[in-house]
Structures are given as C-alpha cells and as structure tokens.
Amino acid sequence: MGVASNGGTERIAFLAARTEEARTAKRQLEELYGVVPRDQADYIVVLGGDGMMLQSLHTFMNTGKPLYGMNRGSVGFLMNDYASSDLRERLRASVVTEVHPLILTATDMNGVVHQAKAINEVALLRQIYQAAKLRVTVDDRVRLEELICDGIIVATPAGSTAYNLSAHGPILPINAPLLALTPISPFRPRRWRGAILPNRAKVDIEILEPEKRPVSAVADHTEIRRVKNVSIREDAEQKSLILFDHDHSWDERILNEQFDH
C-alpha cells in the first residue's frame, strides 16, 4: 500500500541525527526540496540510523504522518538507501507499514507502577553479577516456572532485527501478527531458545528473589530499575507509519539477512 500523492507538491520535513553526516545531508536536501514545518509536512524524512528512526517513530506516533528513513548512520535496517535525487518520486512509490507499540506495565520494589511504550522491544536485564530468576506466564498460563538467565526480550517485528537478533532470536516479517520471546544467555533451562507468540498474547513476568537478584525493565529508551513484576502486550490502537522503498522492502531485507553468510 502506498501513500497518497499530492501531484508533485508533497511537503517534506527533514529530521537529522546529531552526526555531521546527517546534518550535512539535511542541509543539502532542504536546499533541494525546501524547509517545511513538521506539522505542515506530508512526509517526514529521517536522516541517521535506526536509533534516530526509533526515536522519530515514538515522536510521531498517532499523528498519521509517514516516516521515510535514509541511512546516514551506522545501522540502517529501518532505513532506505540515501540519495538526494528523485526524492518525491521515491516517496510516492514507497510502501507504508503500520507499526504498533508494546505497552510495558511494571511494578517496582516500592510498589510504584510504571508504564512505557516500546516499538522495538521490552527487555528484562539482570542488574548485578547474579543471574535473573524469572517466572514466565503467557495469557494467564505459566509456561516457565523458573527461567535463570541474563534476561529476556519481547520483540515486535520491527525490533526483531535489533537486540532480539543479537540474542539469536527469530527475524519476523514486518506485517506478521507475531512477537518474539527470546531469552538472553539462558542457564536453566539451558536448551530453551525462546518462542514465537501471536501479537495478541499478554506476557507476564514475575521476578523471583528480586532483592537478591534485581532486574531492570527496558522499553526502547526507557529503563525502570528493580522491578518485581511486569506485564507486556501490544497496543493495536496506537500506531506509527514507516515507509520502505518498493524495490527494497522489509521482506527482501529479511531474506538477505537470513541467507547472508
């Protein structure tokens, strides 16, 4: 599905990461296509790497503004290749995908309830030298009575190529109604490699021995320390829009990643 065209008069706002490479690209593109306030733009073009795109997806969530990334950073799985020419044509031909966030609800050791959104993943991480000890429940059924590990990740399709992939989790197609549940350095059960869940699933994780084995919960860039239990679910009512070139789609990137050796 493409984005509606304004007949060649699309208004484009440019966002750049703090790197010199991204800022230089922004200046060059604004000379070619003009300077447009974000709230008046038909498209938001994001210059940088995946971190900049992730930040922008949070910023423009629920605004209806499509984000088109061009790689001017060190990592660019969420980005398209950079080129200054024919940008309006590329935008018109691009394919739009809806990205829905995970909602993390976490209760800390003081009984305070925190909530945060994650477009990539929610990760639970041990805070000290001792491994975390977790009980994992999916849709109100205990699936792992005791998981001893460095942590665990719940990843969206957009986040499946990030931390999840580094932890040997599966890559998910961007439109797949799935979540990846991936352990980080599991000690017991040692052979458990994770699970693929429907995106409607609710994941509840209880931290066992939380005083002795403190755990942090991280939703993208938000960290909540010393949690005692968390609940994670996808919120289908909230969404961000991301654009990919029609000839270099997310599905093609997934295939390249899986067959790259």
Hey, which residues are catalytic here?
Answer: 50
158 annotated as belonging to a binding site for a ligand: yes
Other C-beta atoms closer than 10 Å to the C-beta of 115 total: 12
166 annotated as belonging to a binding site for a ligand: yes
50 annotated as belonging to a binding site for a ligand: yes
Handedness of CA 190, 193, 197, 199 (dihedral sign): positive
DSSP tag of 157: T
229 annotated as belonging to a binding site for a ligand: no
163 annotated as belonging to a binding site for a ligand: yes
C-alpha to C-alpha distance for 47 and 197, rounded to whole angstroms: 33
C-alpha to C-alpha distance for 135 and 75, rounded to whole angstroms: 34
Helical segments of the chain, H only:
20-33, 50-59, 87-93, 163-166, 250-259
Q: Is 24 helix (H, G, I), strand (E, B) or coil?
A: helix
86 annotated as belonging to a binding site for a ligand: no
Q: Which residues pair with 253 in a beta bridge?
A: none
| Cis check: omega of the bond before 198, within 30 degrees of 0 | no
161 annotated as belonging to a binding site for a ligand: yes
145 annotated as belonging to a binding site for a ligand: no
120 annotated as belonging to a binding site for a ligand: yes
- Bind-site residues: 50-51, 120-121, 150, 158, 161-166
- Bind-site residues for NAD(+): 50-51, 120-121, 150, 158, 161-166
